[in-house]
Amino acid sequence: MTGTPKTRRAGGRDRDTEGRARNARPRDGLGRPLPYGAAGVERAPEGVVRRPAETVREAQALLDAGRPFHAHEVFEDAWKSGPEDERGLWRGLAQLAVGLTHAARGNRTGGARLLRRGAGSVEEWTARTGRPRPHDLDLAGITGWARELAAAVEHDDEGTDPVAAAPRLHGRTG
């Protein structure tokens, strides 16, 4: 397992090696905790500082693989470690990935709400900065995707296929 080393304290909460509460349970592809000892998917390492192009490339690969929860963690790292003036952008993208996660889990209300919140955050950041394509991101396409998916999710009783619904961060297919 990659990321922050984790330990389990008998009778208490999982803690990392620095004593912070961190869930050490394995996760499935949508980030749901599995029982201790179960086979889960590799988690995205936490607290990694990446260049923007690496963030986008890694997040897109996770989205394409149907792992939006893990893409959210990559965006969250950029949000927390990136330049102050870009934090709103990365936070909005993280919200979009979590919205897709909830939609794929069948949580229609939460999925639609987070997709719209993320789209609003990205649009607000774009309006404030005047940067419609930072890091070659197609922000207009991404926010349009999020709003369309939010509307569809509200009427979907079976959950959203995260692979089929994954956004194209650069606005191109393939």
User: CA-CA distance, 35 to 38, in Å (whole number)?
Assistant: 6
Residues 74, 59: contact at Cβ < 8 Å? yes
Specify burial of residue 19 (Cβ count, 10 A radius: 0-12, 13-18, 19+): exposed
Domain boundaries, the chain: 1-43, 52-153
Tens of pLDDT, residue by residue over 129-164, are: 999 999 999 999 999 999 999 999 998 877 799 999
Rounded Cα gap, residues 93 and 75, in angstroms: 6
Q: What is the band of 16 on the pLDDT scale with cuts at 50, 70, 90?
A: low
**CA gap 145, 160 in Å, rounded:** 14
This prediction has a pTM of: 0.85
User: What is the fold, at CATH topology level, of the domain defined by 52-153?
Assistant: Hyaluronidase domain-like (1.10.3450)
pLDDT 10s digits, 56-82: 999 999 999 999 999 999 999 999 999
> For all residues of the chain together, what is the average pLDDT?
88
Beta carbons of 111 and 99 less than 8 angstroms apart: yes
Which has the closest alpha carbon to 43: 62, 27, 61?
Answer: 27
